Amino acid sequence: MEGKNQSSVTEFILLGFSDLSKLQNLLFPVFLAMYVLTLLGNIGIIMLIKIDSQLDTPMYFFISNLAFIDICYSSTIIPNTLANFVAENKNISLLDCAIQLYIFAACATAECFLLAVMAYDRYVAICNPLLYTAVMTRKVRIQLIASVYIISLSHSAIQTSNAFSMSFCGPNEINHFYCDAPPLLKLSCSDTFFNEIVLSTFATIVTSSTITAICISYIYIISAIVRIRSSEGRRKAFSTCTSHFITVVLFFGTLVFIYVFPSSHFSLSINRVVSIVYTMVIPMVNPMIYSFRNNDVRQALKKILKKKWFYPEKHFQS
């Protein structure tokens, strides 16, 4: 394989959903609505956690970072996808494509490791409740989240450089709605065997390490919960983990499907459909399945709404 990209291609064409011309008039408002809901939900969660002092806990600190990652996630993909619905020119330069891939891969990796950190946080809270505040100090929280971002940015740099070390001689049409490694592999005119190995190996390392950490945490969590004598105590303990478990299954299921298995096993059309789940659907539903169904968040939201709407005169008192 050539060590440097000696491509004759200077830009790519994102085909997006051009093969679904009859559905594009429907897809545009659907994707737009999903993006608006994603922004409102995740920004709302971040603001709520910042405003309410009772939510100043390690769990909600990590939830706010999850919301931030989901905002970056969707904002990297959806606005450009919406623009391509109405634009005649669907071209994207090599540089812009590389930037999009880098940010997207960094967000995906960050979410993997953040979900593992959140599983560890639940493990400490349920298995060692008396030591929870002593273990999950502000310093530890910052160190954990900093590690998540450092690892993610480093891994994304490896995957992006791996993808753009290939030669692209044409065609330059990407059968996807954003720049991603699997469709780029299909377009390369160089031998992509090594690049596929790198993509699959690093994706496997990221997913297997984080899934293993999550599984180990849940083994200890479940063993601790079953030892709780009261049914109410078991119910409350399970409720703190249910939302996280749903997010883990949805997110890792789609990632493993696309990146861990060899790209030749599935068509790019199937990958494109699955990609909608983790680039659009999951960032939109995360606030609902992970936060808004939580009683603490609901109470904080009710308190703020009551203060703003039912007692507005307090804000005008001198």
Task: For residue range 112-157, list pLDDT tens digits in order.
Answer: 999 999 999 999 999 998 999 999 999 999 999 999 999 999 999 9
pLDDT band at 291 (very low <50, low <70, confident <90, very high): low
Range among 48-57, 203-212, 290-299 with highest mean pLDDT value? 203-212
Residue 211's contacts (CB-CB under 8 Å, 6 or more residues apart) are 252
Locate 282 and state its tokens: 């999951």
Q: Comparing 138 with 3, which gets the higher pLDDT? A: 138
What is the pLDDT, as a whole number, of residue 79?
94
What is the pLDDT, as a whole number, of residue 266?
54
Share of the chain above pLDDT 70, in %: 89
pLDDT band at 238 (very low <50, low <70, confident <90, very high): confident
Q: Comparing 209 with 309, which gets the higher pLDDT? A: 209
What is the pLDDT, as a whole number, of residue 293?
63
Res 87 pLDDT > 50? yes
Res 1 pLDDT > 50? no
What is the pLDDT, as a whole number, of residue 63?
92
Res 295 pLDDT > 80? no
Range among 16-20, 145-149, 200-204 with highest mean pLDDT value? 145-149
What is the pLDDT, as a whole number, of residue 292?
61
Which sequence spans correspond to the domains of the chain? 12-311
Res 187 pLDDT > 50? yes
- pTM of the complete model: 0.88
Topology of domain 12-311, CATH: Rhopdopsin 7-helix transmembrane proteins (1.20.1070)
Residue that has been written with the tokens 């804000």 in this structure: 315
Res 313 pLDDT > 70? no
Task: For residue range 153-172, list pLDDT tens digits in order.
Answer: 999 999 999 999 998 887 88
User: Measured between alpha carbons, how far is 283 from 72 in angstroms, rounded to an integer?
Assistant: 10
User: Measured between alpha carbons, how far is 290 from 311 in angstroms, rounded to an integer?
Assistant: 29
What is the pLDDT, as a whole number, of residue 315?
47
